[in-house]
Amino acid sequence: MLNYLAAALFPALLLTAGTAAAQRAPEPEGRQVSIPFITYGGARNFHAAPGGRGIYIQNSRRDWFYADFFSRCNDLPFATRIGFKTFGGGSSLERGDTILVGRERCRINSIVRSGPPPKKARKARR
């Protein structure tokens, strides 16, 4: 009886795992980089990664970067503006620097080059 139940639930489990993976942001891979001149108006655009675990940042040259945080940044998905606090007052955003979102401080774990953020799924019309 248990084998029949497991066999019946296995396809449903695969289907839900596939949809959860499709909703998650793709993890960009690559070597660590820094974003130069970020404190001098070097950020053109930003998008929060799903779940507040990272941020996509577009610089003034229209290159995209993905920065992930040491912990979840809860206010980021609702932010209309962000600030940058760099180590030692430098102008480049690097690993260990902080992104300020409202009253929350989100410390950067890594920064890599990336493509543009994933498009949001559109709701079906009725």
| Contact indicator for 111, 55 with CB cutoff of 8 Å | no
pLDDT tens digit at each of 126 positions of the chain: 445 444 444 444 444 444 444 444 445 567 888 888 888 888 899 999 988 899 999 999 999 999 999 999 999 999 999 999 998 888 899 999 999 998 999 999 999 999 999 887 778 777
pLDDT value, residue 29: 60
pLDDT value, residue 20: 45
Conformation bin of residue 39: beta by default, left when phi > 0, alpha when psi is -120 to 50:
alpha
Conformation bin of residue 22: beta by default, left when phi > 0, alpha when psi is -120 to 50:
alpha
Torsion angles phi and psi, residue 117, rounded to 5: -65, 155
pLDDT value, residue 55: 94
pTM for the whole structure: 0.71
| Contact indicator for 58, 46 with CB cutoff of 8 Å | yes
pLDDT value, residue 17: 45
pLDDT value, residue 87: 86
pLDDT value, residue 120: 78
Helix, strand, coil % over all residues of the chain, rounded to 5: 25, 30, 45
Please tell me whether residue 103 adopts helix, strand or coil conformation.
coil
pLDDT value, residue 28: 53
pLDDT value, residue 82: 92
